[in-house]
Amino acid sequence: MDAPEPFWYKQFSIRFNETTKIFSTKHTEGTWHYDALGLREAIHRDNGQGDRYCGSIHPFTETPCSHIVVEGNRYLVFPDLGECCLCCTAAKGCGILAPTWLTGAAFQGTVTLRGMPAYKWRQDGLQPNYWYTSADEAQIPLELDQEPNDRQSLWPDSFAAGPPPDEAFALPEGCRSRCSLTSVCTIAAEAEGEAEEGQGEVV
């Protein structure tokens, strides 16, 4: 049997559990909305403290945080705090996760993940990225493991292929033109244009 090629859905929504290990271990749940055709992406976390972008703005506060990418701009939104700021732009590598990010990924075989057979691929970027899907033609997303510090366990029963709801990408009024100077966004905004977003990480 030939190794299967990874299939990446151009539009989808899915729930997830996430464990991050940056300065300490954090756990949260969230929803990922992806729309490559509309160049839109939104990742809503119930607690953004463990995310390196959200956590660099409010490191000591457990509060929801969303990454919303629209029109080539990545915004961070803290809905409970009434805050929104422009983090960085696609020109600086902050656009949506590239729909081609799995091109050339190395197939690692069929493994057992959470009691079910799963295809596993490795795609190196800033760190090793492991992508898991159901071991069948549908390739329903199961997990994204960005070793060593970020694992998203996806909920296959919540997976919905097709256009996400427009409200998932809605920005509040009054978004500031830049995030705080002490945030990771400052580094990203000042960086030279990098490889396609997602080659090293999914934020």
pLDDT category at 22 given cuts 50, 70, 90 is: confident
Q: Is the pLDDT of residue 192 over 90?
A: no
- Residues listed for the chain: 203
* Predicted TM-score (pTM) above 0.85: yes
Contact 28, 43 (CB under 8 A): no
Which residue blocks in the chain are alpha helix, DSSP H? 54-57, 184-190
The number of helices, as runs of H, and strands, as runs of E, in the chain is 2, 12
pLDDT score at 182: 87
Kindly list the structural domains of the chain, giving each domain's residue range(s) and its CATH number in brackets, ordered by start.
11-190 (2.50.20.30)
| Average per-residue pLDDT for the chain | 92
CA distances from 152 to 17, 51, 119, 166, 171 (A): 6, 12, 16, 23, 24
pLDDT, residue 186, reads 87
Q: 100 to each of 1, 6, 194, how far by Cα in Å?
A: 24, 10, 15
Would you give the DSSP letter of residue 157? G
Would you call 2 helix, strand, or coil by DSSP?
coil
The pLDDT of residue 191 is above 70: no
pLDDT tens-place string over residues 116-128: 999 999 999 888 9
Q: What is the predicted pLDDT for the residue at 194?
A: 39
Matching residue, tokens 């929803």: 31
Distant-in-sequence contacts of 118-121, Cβ < 8 A, 24+ apart: 118/142, 118/143, 119/4, 119/6, 121/6
